[in-house]
Amino acid sequence: MLRFSIRVVRSLLLLLVATGASLWAVPPANAQFLEPGVTVLYSVQAEAAGDFFGFMASSIGDLNGDGASEFIIGAFLNAAGGASAGRAYVYSGRDGRLLNVVTGSANNELGFSVAGVGDVNKDGVPDYAVGGPGRFNAPAPQNGRVVVLSGKDHSVLYDLAGTHQSFFGYDINAAGDVNGDTYADIIIGPPIKRVNGKIVSCSGGLPTLQALNSLPLAASQASQFG
């Protein structure tokens, strides 16, 4: 898959760039850009060597009302929570300060996917999600995991699991308001789902996140739908 090939980035140093802005935080790295007049605002670096920090990153929206969008970066092989547990880091878009760290459990590979998902609980602040498909060759169950967190206080809103070896949480994204209930919904891709793959959309604004729709792909078409 094209998206997977784009993700093959090892120990990436994320550089946030803009034109004509002042610098502060970590001293900027020496980077080369095709666009003229680019200035590095700040850089953020991996917590541990080889944890695949920067494998996936996403903007979230303005969490703290300072007018700048925050962002999240995954490190799916970080071992702070156990072997291949994974981590994700939420940073201030204004100054690069670390705002929150989400840590997986052993073999989750949390941080393989990250996304701003809109205001899932309608508290006026954008929320975010972190996914981990799990290690395919690890002992069962490897169900995959998606954690949805409040942008307001970083508390866990939902902690979701798929089925064994489905790679649930391989990809996540905002889905908009799928069912017209005015809450932001989430779309999750378990691409293997017993060979055929699947896309699951989940409703926000409910005590337990509920699947709204599930779209399987016929076996004759492709094997990694989602």
Task: State the DSSP code for 195.
Answer: G
Confidence of residue 14 (pLDDT cuts 50, 70, 90): very low
pLDDT at 4: 36
Distances (CA, A) of 201 to 10, 158, 170, 185, 191: 30, 14, 14, 7, 14
Residue 208 has pLDDT above 50, yes or no: no
Residue in 112, 173, 116 with CA at minimum distance from that of residue 144 = 112
Distance of CA 147 to the CA centre of its chain: 9
Rounded to an integer, the average pLDDT of 128-141 is: 88
E strand intervals along 81-141: 87-91, 98-103, 113-118, 127-132
Please answer whether residues 197 and 222 qualify as being in contact, where contact means their C-beta atoms are separated by less than 8 angstroms.
yes
Task: State the DSSP code for 141.
Answer: P
What whole-number distance in Å separates Cα of residue 186 and Cα of residue 201? 6
Respond yes or no on whether the N-terminal peptide bond of residue 190 is cis (omega within 30° of 0).
Answer: no
Rounded to an integer, the average pLDDT of 203-217 is: 45
pLDDT digits 0-9 by tens, 82-112: 999 999 999 999 999 999 999 999 999 999 9
- Tokens at residue 151, please? 């942008």
The total of other beta-carbon atoms located within 10 Å of residue 36's CB is: 6
pLDDT at 192: 62
pLDDT at 79: 97
Beta strand pairing call for 39-44 and 53-61: unpaired
pLDDT digits 0-9 by tens, 179-190: 788 888 888 877
pLDDT at 16: 36
pLDDT at 17: 30
Confidence of residue 31 (pLDDT cuts 50, 70, 90): low
Rounded to an integer, the average pLDDT of 162-190 is: 86
pLDDT digits 0-9 by tens, 42-52: 889 999 999 99
Confidence of residue 21 (pLDDT cuts 50, 70, 90): very low
Question: Which of 23-27, 49-53, 189-193: highest mean pLDDT?
Answer: 49-53
pLDDT at 110: 97
Residue 205 has pLDDT above 60, yes or no: no
